[in-house]
Structures are given as structure tokens and as C-alpha cells.
Amino acid sequence: MDNNNVSNFIRNIIIDDLETGKRDHVVTRFPPEPNGYLHIGHAKSIILNFDLADEFKGRTNLRFDDTNPLKEDIEFVNSIKEDVKWLGYDWDGLFFASDYFEEMYNRAVLLIKKGLAYVDDLSADEIREYRGTLTEPGKESPYRDRTIEENLELFENMRAGKYGNGEKVLRAKIDMKSPNINLRDPVIYRISHTAHHNTGDKWCIYPLYAFAHPIEDAIEGVTHSICTIEFEDQRPFYNWVVEQCEMESKPQQIEFGRINLTNTVMSKRKLKQLVEEGHVDGWDDPRMPTISGLRRKGYTPEAIRTFLRELGVAKNNGTVDTQMLEHFVREDLKLKAPRTMGIINPLKVVITNYPEGHVEMLDAEINPENPEMGTRQIPFSREIYIEQEDFMENPPKKYFRLFPGNEVRLKHAYFIKCEEVIKDEEGNVVELRCTYDPETKSGTGFTGRKVKGTIHWVEATQAVPAEFRLYEPLILDAEENEDEEEDKTFLDYVNPNSLEVLNGFVEPNMKDAKPHDKFQFFRHGYFNVDPKHTTEDHLVFNLTVSLKSSFKL
């Protein structure tokens, strides 16, 4: 997989490491915490880690960072595996941080024996107070000078379940005056009497992420441990753990900038809130920036990969216009998706001079941009549906679609002319009466006269009913960071009109469409057959992306 053409400083570090002989191989890992579904930001990290290992013939592990039993769940483990595979990657090793709990415990004991860790009885609040601030040094805990023997015994008692949650912690003994707050005796183990999805009731003490992560990396022989920029200040502690725990393998932590997208939220906490409070119909709602949501919406792994590779790798967090992602989705579907016609807001048209009861079959190309896809047959008869918005009784200037007395081309069929408008008692237009000209059949080379508009249609007697779900951005224009401002939360920016459900018709050849089949509906956009709501006799299409955008790359 080639991502050489965009800037990637991590790639340069690896090349350097290999050239100077600092390393002779590459091992990366993708380390999600199984506390939610993966989103497009995670996909950035997946692609980065797997692509780099691929390029240098290395290995990539999928490792679940499951050190916090409170928030983690097997449902998330399974969805993460599915999403990584769907994105097109296959991990070398599959690991759980919780498989290393015994090893981590032993390393913590080693620290105690070296006089580099101690059991502290201060409460969480006191620890916070004692920690100091960016401008003030911290204060040493009165329990800091416990003897090694005492610490060993207390830590063993912690493991044996002799204390309640929060009663004691194990802390690294480094430097309460360090300018880096992360080095002011960070907590490395805490008590939590909580069952774990993998280890059950075996443990009631759990290692903290900052302590566990470097050990996990080192155990697996990871060479380049790629993480996001907020861990930069943790790097000294990461190295301290690798060093002082006497890990054989020495992974190197490298930080890069997170990506965010406009008009959405990306933190798992917020995504979870949207799911739990029912703003969306699940983690895989097509409005979500989750991998499963984008999949349901009709995005392809190819489009997502191209988009993320094209972004390159930066040192700072950055927000990318969602329209750029949409651009790559259109580019990918352009050649793949069959063209078809669908009516989202139907208006019945009767062609009065067409023989009653007669149905003819017309040829239509499946994809003009990819002629190899061949042709399909579509029926035409006296009754068809057109789009409500393709008719106006009193049109403005330059309206080239149907209006009384005007003639348009029906895509793949004939010219029709609007002769009469039928209304209901309230004055709504409910039907049009038109005439057609048999001379004007598509593909016959008719040149007699021209019309300015071409509209789409579906033959009425054989049309298949279909539900169309149209999506707008989930979050209205507002920075995620405005959260704290004026008591507003991101929920205040949830778009109340982000989903519109409409019932229309599609061509009869669509009746066997399967979940995840993708189509380009002429003049509407790309749609994906929804896997959740589609049944044997109810077709549901999700709008993937509209056809046009003002966005320029």
C-alpha cells in the first residue's frame, strides 16, 4: 500500500531507524480501549499503524487496552474486530492487555523492591491536592517512606482484596517537584472491586493506563508505539516504566495529531451519550462518524482509506471538512455503483396517448462511466411516477422541467408534454396528464427538436415501493470546543432535521437488492441498501452522499 506521496514524519523516523541500524524490523499495534465503537479518528490510527508495518514488512497487533473494567464490554471488542477487518486489515497478533495483568503485577513488585514504588493511603482528593500545579511543586505523601517490606506486604494485601475501593493505591516514586506533573509520583495501581470482561473476579486491583501501556508494548516487542498528541507529556513516564521495570524490549513512543471532522463529534463519551439518550438509533446510525455508521451509510473502506492517507500525518490535532471525505466516497462509487432511477416524492403522470395496458421494455445503460457494466431493461407504460419537484404549475424563468404546455425528455424514454393538471379538493396537484411523442424514443437518433430538461421517472404498475432515508449533518455548525461556553453542551447543537424519511418507488429490477448494495439514483445521489431496516418486502435506502458539492480539493 502506497502512501509515499503525502507527508508522514513517522514514516521518516522509521526509515531513519532502519538505515542507522537502531532497528532491524518494525512492529506496530492498534490499541483501542473496548469502551465504544470505532470512529473515523480510530481509522486514521489503524491505517497509519497497519500501512507502516506493511510497507516495511513488519507486523501489527490488535491489542485491546482493557485495563478499566468499569467501562468495557465484549460487544465493543467484537465490533472493533469487525470494523478493523472491514477496513481491510488483518492483525498479526490479537492480544488483551488484561492477559498481561500477572506480568504487570510482577513488574510493580519489582519497582517496590527497587524502592521505586510505594503504597499510599491518601485519598484521591488528597493526592490531587498534594500534586501541586504547573507553577507550584507537589508535596510528598506522609506514606512515601514506607519500607520496602511494608510496601510489599501492603501491595499483596491490596491484591488479596483486604481493602475497599480507593483505600490505598500504589504509586511510582519519582519526584514530587518535577516540572512534568506526570512524574510526580503517578498512581500505577488502584483498587476496584469490579468484575472484568476477560479476567472475571480474579483481580480487584487494576493498573493505570500510563503504567500498563509501555509494559504492553514492550511485552509484544512493539518498536514504534504510535499514539495521539495528548500523550506527549506522558512520554518521560513511558520511558521511565520501560527502563525501571527492566523490560527487555524498548519501544519508542511517537505522537501525532488527532483528526476531527466538521459537523460531528468524535469523542467516545459523546458518541455514547448520543446512543444512550436516543438521539440516534445506535452506534451504527448512518449519521454517526463511527465505522459501522459510515458503513451503513454506504461509505466504502477504499474511500475511507484513500481519504485518510491523503491527509498525511501531522503533529497537531486538526479538523477536516467532512466534504473532503464525501469527495472520496463519490470518487470511489462513481465507477462501481450501478445507475438506476428512483422517485423519492412521487407524482403520478398519465400519458393519455399511450396505448392502455401496453408495457414496453427500454434499454438503459447501467453506468455510462463504466460501459462494461452493460445495460438493464426498464418498463415503460401509460402510467409513471415523476418527482414532485420536477413539476411547477407557475414556474420561474429558466425552469426547464415540467409545467403546463412544456415538453421534457424522460431519461431513457420519450419526450412528454404536460397537457393537464389534476388537483384534489384542497388544490394540491395529485396527477398530471401528458402526451408523448413516439418519434422521440431515446437511442433512435431523433433530432427533430430539442428540449431543455431531462427528468427521471419510474413506471407505475411495476414500480417497487421503497423507503428513502435522507441525512443531514448530525451536529450543526459549532465547534466542539464551545461546549463549556454559556452552559451549552454539544447536545444543544444536535441537528433536529438530520434524518428525513420518505416513501417512493424504484425500478422493478431493484426488488432483489441486498443489504449494502450501492446505487446511484439518477439526479439524487448514491444510496446504500440499509442492512438494519430492509426486509424481504420492504426496501430501505440510506443516502450515502448527494451527487454534487461546492467543495474543491
Q: Which are the catalytic amino acids? A: 33, 258, 268
Total residues interacting with ligand ATP, rule: CB under 6 A: 14
Shortest approach of ligand ATP to residue 84 CB, angstroms?
11
**At a CB cut-off of 8 Å and minimum separation 6, what does 202 contact?**
101, 196
Binding residue per annotation — 550? no
Binding residue per annotation — 549? no
Binding residue per annotation — 65? yes
Q: Which three cell numbers stand for residue 299?
A: 461509505
Is residue 228 a contact residue for ligand ATP (CB under 6 A)? yes
Residue span binding ligand ATP (CB under 6 A) among the ranges 28-36, 84-92, 156-164, 387-395: 28-36
Binding residue per annotation — 195? no
In the bound state with ligand ATP, the residue whose beta carbon lies nearer, of 51 and 459, is 51
Q: What is the DSSP string of 1-54?
A: ---TTS-BHHHHHHHHHHHHTS-SS-EEEE---SSS--BHHHHHHHHHHHHHHH
SS3 (DSSP) at 305:
helix
Give dist(CA 539, CA 519) in Å, integer. Answer: 13
Do 311 and 47 meet the contact criterion of CB atoms below 8 Å apart?
A: no
Binding residue per annotation — 39? yes
Binding mask 143-172 for ligand ATP (x = CB under 6 A): ------------------------------
Do 31 and 216 meet the contact criterion of CB atoms below 8 Å apart?
A: yes
In the bound state with ligand ATP, the residue whose beta carbon lies nearer, of 73 and 419, is 73
The residue from 31, 207, 301, 504 that contacts ligand ATP (CB under 6 A) is 31
The residue from 227, 275, 291, 386 that contacts ligand ATP (CB under 6 A) is 227
Is residue 258 a contact residue for ligand ATP (CB under 6 A)? yes
H/E run at residue 458? strand 457-459
The type of residue at 537 is D
In the bound state with ligand ATP, the residue whose beta carbon lies nearer, of 228 and 462, is 228
Shortest approach of ligand ATP to residue 87 CB, angstroms?
13
In the bound state with ligand ATP, the residue whose beta carbon lies nearer, of 65 and 185, is 65
Shortest approach of ligand ATP to residue 308 CB, angstroms?
9
Binding residue per annotation — 35? yes
SS3 (DSSP) at 390:
helix
**Partners of 339 in the beta sheet?**
520
Is residue 305 a contact residue for ligand ATP (CB under 6 A)? no
The residue from 171, 190, 235, 268 that contacts ligand ATP (CB under 6 A) is 268
Residue with cell 466538521: 262
The residue from 259, 291, 466, 539 that contacts ligand ATP (CB under 6 A) is 259
The residue from 52, 53, 174, 266 that contacts ligand ATP (CB under 6 A) is 266
Give, as ranges, the residues between 44 and 103 that touch ligand ATP (CB under 6 A).
Answer: 44-45
Q: Is 550 exposed, middle or buried (0-12, 13-18, 19+ CB in 10 A)?
A: exposed
Q: Chain centroid to CA 458: how far?
A: 34
**At a CB cut-off of 8 Å and minimum separation 6, what does 440 contact?**
409, 414, 415, 446, 448
Do 115 and 152 meet the contact criterion of CB atoms below 8 Å apart?
A: no
Binding residue per annotation — 268? yes
| Strands 454-455 and 407-410, bridge-based pairing | parallel
Shortest approach of ligand ATP to residue 493 CB, angstroms?
18
Binding residue per annotation — 42? yes
Binding mask 36-55 for ligand ATP (x = CB under 6 A): -----xx-xx----------
Is residue 225 a contact residue for ligand ATP (CB under 6 A)? no
Do 536 and 548 meet the contact criterion of CB atoms below 8 Å apart?
A: no
Binding site members: 33-35, 39-45, 65, 209, 228, 266-268
Applying CB under 6 A, the residues found at the interface with ligand ATP are: 31-33, 41-42, 44-45, 227-228, 258-259, 266-268
